[in-house]
Amino acid sequence: MALDEATAGFLASMAEGGGKPLHEMQPDEARALGPMLMELSGPGPEVTSVAEENLTAWDGGSFRVRTLIPDGTVKGVFVYYHGGGWVIGDIDQYDGLGRELANRTGCAVVLVDYRKAPENQYPAAVEDSWTALNWVAGRVRDIAGAEVPLIVGGDSAGGNLAAIMAQRSRDRSGPAIALQVLVYPVTDADLDNGSYSDPANQLMLSRDSMVWFWDYYVPDKSARSEPDASPAQAKDLSGLPPAVVLTAEHDVLREEGEAYASALESAGVPTQSRRFPGQMHGFFSMVNILPGAATGMDYVSEAVNERLATLK
């Protein structure tokens, strides 16, 4: 089906503003788009408390994490990795989404501000994500007030990192993960599949912009087939935590996200997957901008709550 009316209107409004396509920008130019979307989204809902910490990275650098605590009994801790092609985006832009997620799931949400390329290329984002996950796992009781389930999730590049964290936790006897939530995740570096080639999918995220992201993040093309870059390339997907996968109909990443969901299911991993019709890449994070964001949040929060209910 065609893009839904709200999405088409949003894209038309953006086009009226002019500006270069993402793949023709420098990283700093692209990062400057974030505050505009934050202004459109507005502030997120109130939460009980917010805490921010600086963590020391694997190479001596540092990055931020922000913990959002909802009202009432905390049912889980949700480590969320934001999107942005490993180059743009930050936890300030995702604060509203994190607050919504916390209130809708009853989970403390920890937003991870992993370092970005090109200043910090692969595997910096992966290692920062791993550092953050282990930091959270060691503090679940302090964060939640009890030992509660741990969830990982993220959108786009963040979905890539969440999938990799699930694999690492299995392979390295890391933190026990109750659920992985993958929102239109990057799972492979194949830039020539059907959804990449479809002209109807060349929207806010296009094939050209994914080339741009990959070139900044993993310039060594031979490294892109490593499972820490392309989780779909892992030889074995069995034994991973249950998965919830969201894809958008008009998204260059649709095919790889759905292929990964199918591969998880084939490997015996309990998996639920849904394609959102009429939606483009990025819809989930456009809280208060696109109605599809609310529909996506409904789907994720219901899946999280259902999974947590089985663990009581």
Give every strand in the sheet of 271-280, ordered side by side. 49-56, 62-69, 107-113, 76-81, 150-155, 179-183, 243-250, 271-280
Q: What is the largest CA-CA distance in the chain?
A: 52
Residue of 41, 156, 285, 301 marked catalytic? 156
Residue range 239-252: mean pLDDT, rounded: 98
Contact 278, 7 (CB under 8 A): yes
Sign of CA dihedral 162, 166, 168, 169: positive
Residue of 113, 128, 155, 251 marked catalytic? 251
Residue range 199-203: mean pLDDT, rounded: 95
- Provide the pLDDT for residue 24: 95
Collapse the DSSP code of 71 into the 3-class scheme (helix H, G, I; strand E, B; otherwise coil) and give the result. Answer: coil
How many Cβ atoms sit within 10 Å of the Cβ of residue 25? 17
How many Cβ atoms sit within 10 Å of the Cβ of residue 115? 18
Helix 291-310 × helix 95-105 angle, to 10° = 40
Find residue 244's DSSP bridge partners: 181, 272
- Provide the pLDDT for residue 128: 98
Domain boundaries, given as residue ranges, for the chain: 5-16+31-310
User: Is the pTM here over 0.95, yes or no?
Assistant: yes
Q: Is 183 exposed, middle or buried (0-12, 13-18, 19+ CB in 10 A)?
A: buried
Contact 133, 125 (CB under 8 A): no
| Residue 251 known to be catalytic | yes
- The residue behind tokens 């949400």 is 109
The pLDDT of residue 141 is above 90: yes
Helix, strand counts (H, E) of the chain: 11, 8
Percentage of residues in the chain having pLDDT higher than 90: 92
Task: Quote the mean pLDDT of the chain.
Answer: 96
How many whole angstroms separate alpha carbon 196 and alpha carbon 292? Answer: 22
- Provide the pLDDT for residue 19: 78
pLDDT band at 271 (very low <50, low <70, confident <90, very high): very high
- Provide the pLDDT for residue 122: 98
| Residue 281 known to be catalytic | yes
C-alpha atoms less than 13 angstroms from C-alpha of 245 in its C-beta half-sphere:
29
Query: pLDDT tens digits for 61-102?
Result: 999 999 999 999 999 999 999 999 999 999 999 999 999 999
Residue range 121-149: mean pLDDT, rounded: 98
How many whole angstroms separate alpha carbon 309 and alpha carbon 137? Answer: 20
CA dist 286 to 7, 195, 241, Å? 10, 22, 27
Answer with the residue of higher pLDDT: 49 or 2.
49
Percentage of residues in the chain having pLDDT higher than 70: 100
Residue of 90, 113, 250, 281 marked catalytic? 281
- Provide the pLDDT for residue 17: 76
The pLDDT of residue 1 is above 70: no
* Helices within the chain (DSSP H only): 5-16, 27-31, 34-41, 95-105, 124-137, 140-144, 157-171, 194-197, 207-217, 254-266, 291-310
Residue range 138-156: mean pLDDT, rounded: 98
Contact 73, 112 (CB under 8 A): no
- The residue behind tokens 């999280």 is 304
* Structural tokens at position 164: 């990799």
Query: pLDDT tens digits for 149-193?
Result: 999 999 999 999 999 999 999 999 999 999 999 999 999 999 999
User: Domain 5-16+31-310 is in which class?
Assistant: alpha beta
- Provide the pLDDT for residue 312: 79
Residue range 261-281: mean pLDDT, rounded: 98
